[in-house]
């Protein structure tokens, strides 16, 4: 029986990397992208759909498309995310808060509600990508951090409500992959506060995910993959 994964944000960086690993492991993947240029050419096990999670009706259509194409979901990965510093004005901030809510909370919620039956049938798992910042928020990214903290709360609630058939865990990345716009000074500032003093890369997140996939006795767990950033002196 070919395992089935539903992954959000597969168009770039971590989402693309995790999808490639899952395909290599023989998964059928339903992948969502927003603006990234993607192609499933030559990959019959990859089903790509463009969805803007700010459009709940488009998300509903994607859920119905998945339900029509598979009777099981072994793994749901909520990876999509909006990472921006807080806006300067209340008006712009309200737009940003709404978008963070839509992407970090509403989309995972609707996916769980619609796919729960498929997850129960497969005795599957939900893995939410949160952030070590949920425990010590970066005040310049308060809206991002607050809604990621909400996703952590949903992880804990779902672990209780979906058990015993479905497991629910979160991975809390630290500085795994800086953005091109991050200056050398900023990167050094972050890594100086990271015990292992290096950018983690994407492979350690895959290793944590593969461990969660293969360890049947983990649910409600929070897995920091952060080079010790979360235990270093602030």
Ligand X SMILES: Nc1nc2c(c(=O)[nH]1)N=C([C@H](O)[C@@H](O)CO)CN2
Considering beta carbons, is residue 4 or 111 the nearer one to ligand NDP? 111
Number of residues that bind ligand NDP (CB under 6 A): 26
| Choices 16-24, 120-128, 155-163, 170-178; region in contact with ligand X by CB under 6 A | 170-178
For 62, 91, 131, 225, the CA distances from 174, given in Å and listed in that order, are 30, 30, 7, 6
Q: Mask: binding to ligand NDP, 13-52, rule CB under 6 A, as x and -?
A: xxx-----------------xxxx--------------xx
How large is the angle between the packed helices 203-214 and 13-24, nearest 10 degrees?
Answer: 50
Task: Give the pair of three-digit tokens for residue 68.
Answer: 């029509």
For 68, 80, 118, the CA distances from 60, given in Å and listed in that order, are 12, 16, 15
Interaction of residue 17 with ligand X, rule CB under 6 A? no
Interaction of residue 100 with ligand NDP, rule CB under 6 A? no
Considering beta carbons, is residue 1 or 179 the nearer one to ligand X? 179
Q: What are phi and psi for residue 67, nearest 5 degrees?
A: -60, -30
Q: Supply the minimum distance, in Å, between the C-beta of residue 130 and ligand X.
A: 10
The closest of 30, 61, 66, 151 to 101, measured between CA atoms, is 151
CA angle 165, 226, 166 (to 5 degrees): 5
Is the bond leading into 27 cis (omega within 30 degrees of zero)? no
Considering beta carbons, is residue 30 or 33 the nearer one to ligand NDP? 33
Binding-site partner at residue 190 among ligand NDP, ligand X, none, CB < 5 to 8 Å by type: ligand X
What sections of 70-131 are H helices per DSSP? 90-101, 107-122
Q: Supply the minimum distance, in Å, between the C-beta of residue 135 and ligand X.
A: 13
User: How far is residue 129's CA from residue 222's CA, in Å, rounded to a whole number?
Assistant: 10
Judged by CB under 6 A, the residue of 55, 61, 71, 83 near ligand X is 83
Considering beta carbons, is residue 83 or 197 the nearer one to ligand X? 83
Task: Write out the binding residues for ligand NDP, residues 147-186 only, by CB under 6 A.
Answer: 173, 175-177
Interaction of residue 175 with ligand X, rule CB under 6 A? yes
Residues 157, 161, 164, 165: is their CA dihedral positive or negative?
A: negative
Interaction of residue 12 with ligand NDP, rule CB under 6 A? yes
List, in order, residues 6 or more apart from 104 with CB less than 8 Å away. 81, 82, 144, 147, 148, 150, 151
Considering beta carbons, is residue 24 or 181 the nearer one to ligand X? 181
By CB under 6 A, name the binding residues for ligand X. 81, 83, 131, 174-175, 178-179, 190
By CB under 6 A, name the binding residues for ligand NDP. 9, 11-15, 33-36, 51-54, 79-83, 103, 129, 131, 173, 175-177
């Amino acid at each position: 029986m070919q395992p089935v994964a539903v992954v959000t944000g597969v168009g770039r960086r971590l989402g693309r990397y995790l999808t490639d690993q899952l395909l290599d492991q023989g998964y059928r993947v339903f992948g969502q992208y927003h603006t990234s240029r993607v192609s499933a050419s030559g990959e019959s096990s990859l089903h790509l759909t463009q969805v803007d999670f700010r459009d709940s009706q488009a998300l509903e259509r994607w859920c119905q498309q998945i339900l029509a194409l598979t009777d099981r979901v072994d793994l749901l990965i909520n990876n999509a995310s909006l990472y921006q510093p807080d806006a300067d004005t209340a008006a712009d901030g309200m737009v940003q808060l709404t978008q963070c809510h839509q992407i970090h909370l509403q989309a995972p919620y609707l996916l769980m509600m619609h796919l729960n039956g498929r997850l129960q049938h497969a005795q599957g798992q939900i893995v939410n990508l949160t952030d070590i910042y949920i425990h010590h928020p970066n005040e310049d990214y308060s809206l991002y951090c607050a809604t990621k903290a909400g996703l952590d709360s949903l992880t804990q609630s779902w672990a209780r409500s979906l058990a015993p058939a479905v497991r629910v865990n979160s991975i809390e990345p630290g500085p795994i992959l800086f953005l091109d716009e991050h200056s050398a000074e900023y990167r050094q500032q972050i890594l100086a506060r990271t015990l292992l003093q290096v950018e983690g890369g994407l492979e350690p997140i895959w290793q944590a995910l593969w461990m969660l996939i293969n360890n049947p006795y983990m649910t409600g767990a929070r897995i920091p993959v952060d080079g010790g950033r979360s235990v270093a002196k602030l």
